[in-house]
Structure formats: C-alpha cells, structure tokens
Structure 1
Amino acid sequence: MKKAILSIVLLVITIISSTETNAQKFPKMDVSPMDAASFPNNWKDANKLVKIIYSRPQLKGRSLDKLAPLNKVWRTGANEAAEVTFYKDVTFGDRKVKKGTYTMFSIPTEGDWTIILSNQKNVWGAYFYDKTQDVVRVPGKVTKSEENIEAFSIVFDGEGSKATMHMGWGKKVISLPVVFENE
C-alpha cells in the first residue's frame, strides 16, 4: 500500500512539475500584424517571382504623415522594415536588380515617393538605416485612392513576367512597375 501511495505521489509531482516547466507565455497579438504579398498572387501558383514580408500599421484616426513622415526614410510598414525576395533578376522601377533578398525602405513626399532597396538585413524600423547599403532608389508614382485604406497594404497585379507593385494607405496608392527577366 505504501508503494502504491508513493507511486501516486511521485506521478502527481512529475505531472505538476512538467506542466510548470512546459508552460509557455505567448505575447498578445501584434496590433500591426505581419503579412506577405507575392506575385503571382494566386495561392495555387507555388512558382513565385517575388515575395514581400511586411507589417501592417493601422491609421486609427491618425494622419498618414504622422506615421510615415514626409521627406524621411520610412521602414515601409511597421516593426521590422519590409523584406523583399526576388526569385529572378528583375527591373524594379527602371533599375536592374539581381535576384536575392533586400530590405525595402521608402521616402514619402508630397509628390511621388522614393522606394529604396537596401542590402541591410534584419532591420527594426528605419532607425539604423544606412544609405551606403542602398542597391537602388526608384520613384513610386502616387495616385489618389477612392476609398480610405485603414491598414497599410501591398499588392501586385499583372500577367506573365510583368507586374505592378501597389502600396496603399490612407488615400494614397504608390505604384511601381516590376519586370522579371526570362531565364
């Protein structure tokens, strides 16, 4: 009987201690969740030409200029700077870029925005942006959106090897042609 009680006590202690040591603390959901945009954007097409991973800040009644200040380098989203992977050599805007992974920054202005691809990796925000790491700077044409875009968004449209990247937020849409090289 003593052995049975001792066995039960040891079993309970083991269960309690393993539950305590395996308990995980998960953070609350990020208010600017991470998202991805790709081209082709059909989920059934696994042969992507580009993928952008970025976080989606929300306006929540604030002005776009407050969150993406004019004439200053911006991380192009929230949290970490946006990360772009090209799976083929590409003409980004009007500049040739080799396939690979880059960080994307932007400079919002009253007119067209400047879109920057940088060799910097794993960058949080634009606080440590280093101009010497720029690969290209190209203009993104700004147009007015019919609707207010609450959460910053990136989408692609196009066909074959020709696409247009659109970044939308507030009443602005910034567009940039992206043409993939045929191998």
Structure 2
Amino acid sequence: MRKSILSIVVFAVALVSSNNAFAQDFKDLDKSPMDAATYPASYRVSDKLAKVIYSRPQLKGRDLEKLAPKGKVWRTGANEAVEITFYKDVTFGGKPVKAGTYTLFTIPGDSEWTVILSTAKNVWGAYFYNESEDVVRVKGEVSKGKKNLEAFTMAFDGKDNDAKLYMGWGNLVVSVPVKG
C-alpha cells in the first residue's frame, strides 16, 4: 500500500512539473506589429480579390528617407518582407499577374516608387532580394497624404474589381492600381 501511495505521489509531482516545463511563454507586442489589409475590406465578403500581410514600423521621430532609402530595395515595412496574395488573376500596375502569393518589395523614389512582386517566399527584410525572382516591376504613384501617419500602413480602396493598393507613412502615399 505504501509503495502505491508513493508511486501516486511521484506520478502527481512529475505531472505537475511537466506542465510547468511546457508552459507557454507569451512575448510582449512586437515593436512593429504585423497587420493585414484585404480587398474588399468587409469581413463578410468571402470572395476577396487580394490580401496583404505586413509589419508596421513607426517613425518615432526618425527620418522616413533613412528608414526607406531612395534608390534601394526596401522590404516595405519591417521584419519579414510583405506578402501579397491575389485570389484571382489581376492586373497590378497595368501588368498581368496570375493568382497566387508573392513577396512585395519597393524601391523608393522622388516622384514614383518601383513596386516589385517577387516569387521569393519566407524572406526576412530585403537582405536576400534577388532580381531574378521578380515577377513584375510597376510604378507606384507618389502623393502627399491628408494626415501624417506615424506607423507604416497599407490599405485597399476601390469599387467592384477595380481597386488601388495604398502604402502610407509620414505624409507620403504610394498607390498602385489592382484590377480583377
């Protein structure tokens, strides 16, 4: 009887200890949290044209041009490079693109940005960007935003299957037409 009680106690201690050993350690919110935008934006519409997943760096008093240098390939946000999914064939910036998931990079410029869709997957930043993986390069129109955005933001707007992808940060807005 003593052996079975001892066995039960040992088993109970081992069980409690094993739960603590596998307890999840949840981290704080990322400094550049991940976000997503879809078109259409309504969650009630299941027939989407596009979805973009990106991280949102913040200016925090820094100069936009230092964070997204002109003339250099930029990951377009923070952390992992942006992933954009088209659920049907589209024209992106006037060029045909097949349905699928792509990585989106940009090259900032003064009056326009080059927006690149790439076949690269699971990419951290733009450190390993390879031009040979480009699917298309299009021009993004640069304009001045109505308000100053502290955090980098991406959004879609449009009507029916005629939309625009907007990328905004500071008082800068870059837009690319997307048609389904």
- CA deviation after TM superposition for structure 1 residue 24, in Å: 2.3
Q: Does 1:74 align with 2:74?
A: yes
Q: Does 1:178 align with 2:145?
A: no
Partner of residue 57, structure 1 = 57
- Runs of at least 4 residues off by over 4 Å: none
Equivalenced residues, count: 180
Where 1:16 maps in the other structure, the secondary structure is helix
1:1-183 alignment runs, 5 A limit:
2=2, 6=6, 9-180=9-180
- Normalising by structure 2, report the TM-score: 0.94
C-alpha distance in 2 between matches for 1:24 and 1:39: 35
- CA deviation after TM superposition for structure 1 residue 28, in Å: 2.6
C-alpha distance in 2 between matches for 1:49 and 1:178: 9
C-alpha distance in 2 between matches for 1:130 and 1:107: 13
C-alpha distance in 2 between matches for 1:124 and 1:14: 40
Where 2:37 maps in the other structure, the secondary structure is strand
C-alpha distance in 2 between matches for 1:74 and 1:154: 15
Where 1:132 maps in the other structure, the secondary structure is helix
- CA deviation after TM superposition for structure 1 residue 7, in Å: 5.3
- Alignment-mate amino acid for residue 101 of structure 1: T
Where 2:135 maps in the other structure, the secondary structure is strand
C-alpha distance in 2 between matches for 1:6 and 1:112: 75
- Alignment-mate amino acid for residue 27 of structure 2: P
- Normalising by structure 1, report the TM-score: 0.92
Paired-residue identity, %? 58
C-alpha distance in 2 between matches for 1:50 and 1:31: 26
Where 2:18 maps in the other structure, the secondary structure is helix
Where 2:19 maps in the other structure, the secondary structure is helix
- CA deviation after TM superposition for structure 1 residue 4, in Å: 7.5
